[in-house]
Chain A
Amino acid sequence: DQQVKQNSPSLSVQEGRISILNCDYTNSMFDYFLWYKKYPAEGPTFLISISSIKDKNEDGRFTVFLNKSAKHLSLHIVPSQPGDSAVYFCAASAEKSSGDKLTFGTGTRLAVRP
């Protein structure tokens, strides 16, 4: 039962263009969403998060959009840089029921071409 889904296993983007990574969830109890970036042989690094009371959060080149009615969120990276090449994980938690434990998607591997 995959409660958080990232349906695109990989994405290739030209340097300078926008990267859009998508994530869908099924559990309506989720109220906090995060994006993590992961390089090989390293731990996930926190990128950006959004609470369910918002529909957008921006931090520099990274913007996360949340569409609660569609149970969908996306991460926009603009402009994309070669150093952004990594695996990106979407994660979600439910404050009231699970002590902030995270449910992760399976990841999207982003390749930014110079």
Chain B
Amino acid sequence: NAGVMQNPRHLVRRRGQEARLRCSPMKGHSHVYWYRQLPEEGLKFMVYLQKENIIDESGMPKERFSAEFPKEGPSILRIQQVVRGDSAAYFCASKTSLMNTEAFFGQGTRLTVV
């Protein structure tokens, strides 16, 4: 019974390249969330998705960032034309559709922009 799987664990990109982060939720979980943790800070909500739908993207930067959760396959967080300030740990979490239940987190992808 695998948990939330994120890959890659570490990703190094040069400025201007694209970064693609993948997240496979726990089996039976239909809700996926992406969070970002900058150094010495807490986790900040980015986007909430269900299959084929973006429900809440209020935490996403307006440009260069996009997310999807297709009918088949993992959720993808995509960052185009990365800049040094995008360097952070990106965590995916999933949960069931039941309200007021805990979300389970993956191990994160640490993005370093050089």
For the complex of A and B, 4 pairs with smallest distance between CB atoms: A43-B105, A104-B42, A106-B42, A32-B100
B48 close to A (CB within 8 Å) = yes
B55 close to A (CB within 8 Å) = yes
Q: Is A89 in contact with B42, judged by CB distance below 8 angstroms?
A: yes
B95 neighbours in A (Cβ, 8 Å): 100
Q: A42-B108, A44-B43 are in contact. Are A101 and B56 (CB under 8 A)?
A: yes
Q: Bin the interface of chain B by size.
A: 20 to 34
B69 neighbours in A (Cβ, 8 Å): none
Map CB proximity to A onto B21-51 as digits: 1 under 8 Å, 0 otherwise: 0000000000101010000011111001000
Partner of B99, one of A43, A46, A100: A100
A26 close to B (CB within 8 Å) = no
A45 close to B (CB within 8 Å) = yes
A36 neighbours in B (Cβ, 8 Å): 105
Q: Bin the interface of chain A by size.
A: 20 to 34
In the assembly, what is the distance between CA of A1 and CA of B101, in Å? 25
Q: A100-B31, A100-B95, A101-B33 are in contact. Are A43 and B44 (CB under 8 A)?
A: no
B55 neighbours in A (Cβ, 8 Å): 99
Cβ of B6 to closest chain A Cβ, rounded Å: 8
In the assembly, what is the distance between CA of A107 and CA of B43, in Å? 9
> Considering only CB atoms, which chain B residue lies closest to A6 in the complex?
B42
A101 neighbours in B (Cβ, 8 Å): 33, 45, 48, 56, 59
Q: Is B4 in contact with A43, judged by CB distance below 8 angstroms?
A: yes
Map CB proximity to B onto A57-100 as digits: 1 under 8 Å, 0 otherwise: 00000000000000000000000000000000100010100111
In the assembly, what is the distance between CA of A105 and CA of B43, in Å? 8
- Extra contacts besides A43-B91, A99-B48, A99-B56 (18): CB < 8 Å: A31-B100, A32-B100, A36-B105, A41-B110, A42-B107, A42-B108, A44-B43, A44-B105, A45-B105, A46-B105, A49-B102, A95-B100, A99-B55, A102-B45, A104-B42, A104-B43, A105-B42, A106-B41
